[in-house]
Structure 1
Amino acid sequence: MKVKNVNIKTIDRKTLSKQVIDEIVHLLMSGELKPGDRLPSEVELMEMFDVSRPVMREALTSLEAVGVVNRKTRNGTFFSDQINSKPFTMILALSAGNIQSIIETRISLELGLVTLAAEKISDDELELMEEKLQEMKNTENYQSIDREFHEIIARNASNPLLESISEPLLNLFDETWSQIPISYRNSDTTIRQHEEILNALKQRDPVQAYTSMYQHLNYVRERLYQSQMESETKEE
């Protein structure tokens, strides 16, 4: 495979690995190389940046760890051709235990997702959401089904970047929510709120979908905060 000619700036020797990472990412952000493109060989990159092999390998290893590049033993190093949630997952990991940050991030993201889904969702996907809602009504432990309901919304926003961010965020939220006592959960309220969200999507009404999702997630936020406050009071 022919490697594209790219313009790379020579860098000084301060924080070399970090600077190499920045320059390689710049190739992608500037459009000089695109997702899926092959990078120059390790030796060529060393010459372009005027750095040693250990520095170059450190930079490439770091980029691979967060999903920016894929290294193939015989074929070389390529920019990932699909959006990867690893960088966002790492950011979220730093917020583990910060209930306010987690729920506020989820609110911000899902309000956008549900308005886009209201514009784009298909009848088949609406039927699938209806099935999930019925499953929630027929079981006491519906957390995993609730998760699937929200995943359908994320998928039907038809935006791969937002969807890739949504998955690790829901994972972290589920971990947080699972630690909340059952007494703080009201299945009747939760199911009613999901019905309102679904009805807004059926009407293809982004404004109502936004309102219904906000009411639902604000209710969840209040439940989380109440549980946290009472837990802290008991510890005192």
Structure 2
Amino acid sequence: MNLSVEKINLSRTISSEIVLIIKDNLLNGSLKPGDKLPTEKELMEQLGVSRTPVREAIKILEAIGVIQIKRGKGMFITNNLSRFTLNPLIFSLIMHSNNMKRLIEFRQHFEILLLNMIITNEEKNLNKIEEVYQSQVEKMDPELSPEELAAIDLEFHYAVLEATNNPFAIEIGRTIYEIIKPNMIHFKRKSNIERTLETHKFYLELLRGNDFNPVEVVQRMIKNNEEMIE
């Protein structure tokens, strides 16, 4: 099949443009759940691009659940596309997701906002966050795969999101975590599991109190994440 394609915007990376092309074809109805996508070679010919950006775009689309690769059969639009999968915010963040330093910086400032929203809530409830943290202490094991450990890690952050009771914070937060999830490969070392638990404990200590210096906290959190990625 031929995709509906407008002129590629060279102000962005080619792989990002390919992702947007697939998204636009889904939104305008040219592509539907279950449809088979052109092969890598066909995409290269249709779009006039090289193999590398096509493969990069495919990895992104697979990671966020837009496409499914069936061995020996090809690439297909997944049958369980959700509103979240096509969230424009996800694709907007994808455009900048290669700038890891800025992504870390934004995430940490956003998480400070979340903590402050919970702390200043007169009816704050930390029970779920406490419960998730205790379960992480028990569940995080070096024998688990990085993917399994990343999922356990995110359980804590999702609990923090829910504790804000703010639909805007929850929607944006889930989008941020969906983007960074494929990059959470730092659990290959046991020391980073310990660091993650220490960070979550630090979050809890902040939430239990009512006063903290946001600048110092952000700097500590950014340094922590940069060291884990390195």
Calculate the TM-score normalised by the size of structure 1: 0.51
Offset from partner CA, 1:152-211 (integer Å, 9 cap, x none)? 111112221121111121111111222x572495222221221121122233x2526885
Larger proportion of helix: 1
Are residues 219 and 108 of structure 1, via their aligned partners in 2, closer, same or farther at CA, if it must alter by over 3 Å?
Answer: same
Gaps of 5+ in 2: 1-23, 29-82
- 1:128 is the counterpart of 2:131: yes
Contact 1:155–1:163 (CA under 8 A) maintained in structure 2: yes
Contact 2:133 2:200 in 1 (8 A): no
Residue 215 of structure 1 corresponds to: 220
From the superposition, tell whether residues 210 and 126 of structure 1 become closer, same or farther in structure 2 (CA, over 3 Å): farther
> Deviation string for 1:123-172 (max 9, x for gaps)?
43243234334235x42243211101011111112221121111121111
Residue 197 (structure 2) pairs with residue 191 (structure 1) = yes
2:113 aligns to what?
Answer: 112
Which range moved further: 209-218 or 165-174? 209-218
Match in the other structure for 1:26: none
User: Within 2, Cα distance between the matches of 1:123 and 1:181?
Assistant: 26
Aligned equivalent of 1:170: 177
Q: How much does 1:110 deviate? A: 0.9
Q: Distance in 1 between matches of 2:218 and 2:128?
A: 18
Structure 1 residue runs of 4 or more that deviate by more than 3 Å after TM superposition:
82-85, 208-214
- Residues in 2 aligned to 1:217 and 1:85: alpha-carbon distance in whole angstroms: 29
How does the TM-score come out when normalised to structure 2? 0.52
Match of 1:146 among 146, 153, 156: 153
Q: Which amino acid aligns with 2:228?
A: R
CA distance in 2, matches of 1:192, 1:186: 10
Whose Rg is larger?
A: 1
Is the alpha carbon distance of 1:133 and 1:183 closer, same or farther for their aligned partners in structure 2, counting shifts above 3 Å?
A: closer
Q: Is the 8 A contact 2:112 2:218 kept in 1?
A: yes
Aligned equivalent of 2:163: 156
How much identity, in percent, do the aligned residues show? 17
Q: 1:213 to 1:114 in 2, by over 3 A?
A: farther
In 2: Cα distance, 1:157 partner to 1:85 partner? 24
Q: Residue 33 of structure 2 aligns with which residue?
A: none
Contact 2:93–2:179 (8 Å) recurs in 1: yes
| CA 1:160–1:85: 2 relative to 1, 3 Å | farther
